[in-house]
Copies of this chain bind each other. A is one copy, B any other.
């Protein structure tokens, strides 16, 4: 609306006001071809060329999903976008738009909000999507409500329920890195000791916690290759494949030798006295894609075969084995704390 210019240095959200904040934030967002009506009206209008639209939503809360002393504002924006865009890609869809509900205290620095918006816009650009609308409100702590949309490009959505015995289980993207980074940050915080965080050997693990790198483009590629089932790993590999196993009425066996655990994970595991395979099997937040591909299909470039789909339904969570045995300590994450083994 043109009445506010660039916000002054050191300004807070209260200084800028609701409409000034909306204007300053939306000025950071450029809009791709899918955005037909962008921010500034009662609602946005996105293209849905396929006649269907994929939709997913998540809340991210300060202190639960991120900490401002562990992640920069840019990181938080990247991560909030990534976890939703990965859900869209895991349906086999091309991400198109992202919507943000943002609530924060009035004394938050405007610079934090703008840097977060920049991170979100950058992550969207990596996935081919645009931040297309939103809402701001005040709150005692920062919270983000993020909704992502995507286009199926004429293909059926790839559900959790389509896995069939004989399928190969393939992985695209990093696994366990974010959980290792979180473990290092947690240990450093508990010990009041920055060496866990500053050690150059573990820089990439910490960075992985702060900014996941989901392989967005491989979602549509895996769908086009005929994937029977797919999801992103957000609760942990065993937990998420457990959802596929239950929904599909199958069992899944993983081959531990498929997981190439690199030196950073091994040394961090040794330092923290944790078997890094536990991070690989139980850690979420890297948001890689796992898919079940029919026999005879060559996995697309960037995918590694990690197991196979077997006949026979297991009960919830018991349908996934590693080298034929039930893995220990990989239950994943329950937001009300019933069965979490890797609580942050």
Question: Using a CB–CB distance below 8 Å, which chain A residues touch chain B?
Answer: 1, 3, 13-14, 16-19, 21, 36-37, 40-59, 61, 64-65, 87-88, 90-91, 93, 97, 99-103, 106, 132-139, 143, 145-150, 152, 157, 159-161, 230-232, 246-247, 315-316, 334-339
Contact = CB atoms under 8 A, between A and B. Distances in A.
15 contacts: A1-B316, A14-B336, A41-B157, A41-B161, A41-B247, A42-B160, A43-B150, A45-B55, A46-B52, A55-B132, A55-B133, A57-B133, A61-B103, A64-B138, A103-B143
Given A17-B339, A43-B88, 16 more contacts: A16-B336, A17-B336, A17-B338, A41-B161, A42-B231, A44-B56, A56-B133, A57-B100, A57-B147, A58-B135, A59-B135, A61-B143, A65-B137, A99-B147, A106-B336, A145-B145
Contacts of A152: 45
Nearest to A151: B48
B54 A51 contact: no
Given A18-B338, A136-B335, A145-B145, A101 B59 contact: yes
B337 A138 contact: yes
Nearest to A103: B59
Nearest to A231: B42
Nearest to A101: B59
Contacts of A58: 101, 135
Contact of A45 (B57, B91, B139): B91
Contacts of A57: 99-101, 133-135, 145, 147
Complex copy number for this chain: 2
